[in-house]
Every structure is written in structure tokens, then in C-alpha cells.
Structure 1
Amino acid sequence: MANFAIDRSQRVAARVAGALYLLLMACGVFGEFSGRGSLIVDNDPAKTASSILNHLTLFRIGIVSDLTAFAGDIGMAVALYVVLRPVGRNLALLAAFWRVAEASVLGVITLHSLTMLLLLTDPRYATVFSSQQIQSLVWLFNDTHDAGYNLGVIFLSLGCIVFSWLFLKSRYIPRLLAGFGLLSYAVMFVGSIVAIVWPDNSIGSNFDDLAGIYEITIGLWLLIRGIREPRTS
């Protein structure tokens, strides 16, 4: 087995990656259960519009939380590239670019959230559209936000599959953990494709659950334990 020696920059980058895993997970959980996601009422544009209007500050905080997560994604890509560059420079670079593509897509769809706010709060639109039309437009931008999220997840899963493979190859972390990451992101990739091709199929509805568990686990591992010298036997 190849011996991928570890230098100080890799150890520091691993701790940074661990902290970012946990930060991004915290932002994601907040956005889904306390921020933006908590204000969206399924299949009810009128109630969704009312919910956002009644919690404008929370909705705006959710946008900031999303942007924090997407900026952190780029930091994560750099940190993991530094950690795994000695294992496979070209593959690590490919994975980092896929993560940057993910952050770019998700950053752009945040504009849809800002558009929803403009439609609901800017009085100019009330003179052009009826309240029902505004509610329908808000719902449309919410739907395109969700569709864009699925696109971003495709790039995320591709990058993370490669990073997980490099972790498995390097043995910097336990192989069981790296293998779980590989499986989790493969499921995420397939689930995101299913959600696009068969949007009414419930199979792809919880495709990111395993990845969420993995990211909490590896985040804690890298932050507390860091990476280890691979055994030579």
C-alpha cells in the first residue's frame, strides 16, 4: 500500500474541514427547520406568503444562513483539497471544482429567495399584480429554488464521492467511515437524479439523510481526532 505521509498543512486543513462540516450542517438544519424551510407551507401559496410576511426577519436570517453555508462550501473544497492532494492531486482538484460548482449553483438560487421578498414587500408590485398573482409568483420562485437545490446537490454528491474515495484510498480516517461516506453520497447522487426525472416519486424524498449523518460524524472526527498516519501494512 502506498504511504501518504502527512504534513502540518494537511493536519490544519483537516481540523478546518471538520469545523466547516459542523458549521454547514448547523446552517442547513437551521434553514430547514427554523429558517426559510419552516415558513414554506406545502401546496398553499397563500399561507406561504402570509407566513413569510409575518416572519420577515427570520426569512432574511435564513438567507444569510444559506449564504454562510455556500461560502463555507468553498472553504471546505479548499481544505479537503489540501488534505487529499498527496493522495491524488488531479482527483482532489476535480472534486474541489465540483464542490465550487455546487456552491455557485446554490448561491445563485438564493436570488430566488430575495425575489420572493421583493414581490411580497415592495409596494410597486402590488400596483401591477393582484395579491393572488403575487402569491403564485412567490410559489413559482420557491419551486425554482427547490429545483435549483437538486441541481446543486448533483455537483455536491459528485465532489464528495471523489473526496470519499480518496479518504478510503489514503486511510487518513477509518476505512469504515470513508466507505460510509462513499455509500452516502452515491445514494444522494441517485436520489437527486430520481427527484429530477421522476419528481412525483417519493423514493428520492429523503436521499440526503445518510449524507447528513456522515457529515456530522466525519466533522466530529476531523475536528477532534484529525487525520492519522496510514499504516504501511
Structure 2
Amino acid sequence: MTPDRRLALWAGILYLATFATSFPALALKTPILAGEPQLAQAAVGTALEIALAFTCIGTAVALHPIARRVSEPLAIGFVASRTVEAGMILSGAIALLALIELGPDSEGASVLIELHDAAFLLGPAFMASINAALLGTVMLRGRLVPRVIPLIGLIGAPLLLASSFGVVLGAWDQLSVVGALTALPIAAWELSLGLWLTIRGVRMPAPATADPGVGDALPATAGGARV
């Protein structure tokens, strides 16, 4: 297995791990955010959120050596945006841990819930759209995967970003029909990318070769001089 194939495999596995952690975490933490005292369930969801944050960083670390060969600025931007996303997820997890400790009926519960919701908006929404735009551009420009995969991400990124601004402006909730529909393309992009990287890897472009000059096309004499 080549180093590029190994990196792509790890990136793909970690992308799939984001699905294995994010959706169960959302289901497990929703009751306590709604005021229900499901503390053990919320604790498991919080643990999955923490794992999700580290898988986010892992995808960026694994793909950076590959992405930098296409564009160094985009590769650095992707690592930075993915790290910020992970930081926001961890901020939400901290709020959840405090909420579990104090209980959903405590005096400061509403503040902790608002803090979690803000982190959830900035991380898996705003920053997810940014890193999709950055990595999608790298994948498309470098032809590392089939074009349709990054195109899904590049279409979904502005949709999710616009939806996130709609949440900020109070037009709709993040966990609403509009929010779910605009998040679908990004989910499809990350899932398809994870599957492709795991199964097939990346198609690195061949190194460019210099065009032969006129002198290279002329035969050389036995003494080394060209005729």
C-alpha cells in the first residue's frame, strides 16, 4: 500500500466515523436539550460528540499531505477550518457536560442550552460549509476523485451557509425542515467522499514532464556532438 493510499484510507475511515458519531450523538442529546432528565443517555451522546471532534481533526491531518500538492493555501485553510469546527463541537460538549452535572431543571440550564446551540450552529453548520468549499475545490482541481463528488460539496456549501445565516436572522431553526434539507448535500458529499477514499483512494496527478526541445530530437554523433 502506497503512502497516499494509506492516507486516503485513514481519511475515508475517519469521514465515515463522523457519521457513526454525529447522528447517534444528536439523537442521544436531544432529550436533555428539550428539558428531559435523560442524564445517562446525554452522557453517551456527549462522549460521541467528543469523539466526533477528534475525527474531524483527523480527516484534515490525513488529507493535508495530499491536498497541499494541489494547493498549499487551500490545504492549510481546510486544516484550519476543520480545526475550528472541532473546537466548536468541543465547546458544545463542554456545555453538555455542565448541563448533565447541573441538571436540565437548574437555574443556569437555559444558558448552557443556548451555548450548546450556538456552538452547534458555528461548528457543524458554518464551518462545515467552509471546509466543504475548500476541500471540494482541491478535489475538483486536482481530479483526485470523480468530479461528481466534489461538485455535490461545492453546491451544498453555499446552501448550508445561507441556511445558517437564516438561523442567525431567525428565519427558521437549525433543526427544521429547511435546515435539514440544506444540510443534505453536505452530508451526501462527506459520505460519498468517505466511501470513495476508503474503497478506492485518490488519483494523484502524474508529475509534469518537460517537452522535448529541438536539440533533443537530433541524433548525437559518436563524439557527443550533435549533427
Normalising by structure 1, we get a TM-score of 0.79
In the alignment, which residue of structure 2 is the partner of 1:22? 16
Matched, 1:205 2:188: no
- Larger helix percent: 1
Cα drift, residue 214 of structure 1: 1.8
Q: Equivalents in 2 of 1:112, 1:39: separation in Å?
A: 12
- Which blocks of at least 5 consecutive residues in structure 2 are unaligned? 208-227
- Structure 2 matches for 1:98-137, cutoff 5 A? 98-120=81-103, 134=106, 137=108
- Which blocks of at least 5 consecutive residues in structure 1 are unaligned? 1-6, 42-47, 122-130
Highest RCO, 1 vs 2 (Cα 8 Å, sep ≥ 6): 1
Matched, 1:186 2:161: no
* 1:71-108, Cα deviation, whole Å (9 max, x unpaired): 11111111121221100012111111111111112212
Structure 1 179/200 Cα, relative in aligned 2: closer, same or farther at 3 Å?
Answer: closer
- Structure 2 matches for 1:1-233, cutoff 5 A? 8-33=2-27, 35-41=28-34, 48=35, 51-52=36-37, 55-120=38-103, 134=106, 137-152=108-123, 153-200=125-172, 204-206=178-180, 207-230=182-205
Contact kept in structure 2, 1:195 and 1:204, CA below 8 Å: no
Tell me the percent identity.
24
* 1:127-162, Cα deviation, whole Å (9 max, x unpaired): xxxx5xx2x632332122111211123223212211
Q: Secondary structure at the match of 1:86?
A: coil
Q: Equivalents in 2 of 1:14, 1:81: separation in Å?
A: 10
Cα drift, residue 231 of structure 1: 8.0
Paired amino acid for 1:182? L
* 1:191-218, Cα deviation, whole Å (9 max, x unpaired): 1122112354667522312211221111
Q: Equivalents in 2 of 1:231, 1:180: separation in Å?
A: 25
Cα drift, residue 63 of structure 1: 0.7
- How many pairs align? 203
Contact kept in structure 1, 2:32 and 2:39, CA below 8 Å: no
Paired amino acid for 2:70? V
Q: Equivalents in 1 of 2:112, 2:185: separation in Å?
A: 28
Paired amino acid for 2:122? L
Paired amino acid for 2:168? I
Contact kept in structure 1, 2:163 and 2:178, CA below 8 Å: yes
Contact kept in structure 1, 2:132 and 2:186, CA below 8 Å: no
Cα drift, residue 8 of structure 1: 3.1
In the alignment, which residue of structure 2 is the partner of 1:126? none
Q: Which has the larger radius of gyration?
A: 2
Runs of 4+ more than 6 Å apart: none
Structure 1 200/229 Cα, relative in aligned 2: closer, same or farther at 3 Å?
Answer: closer
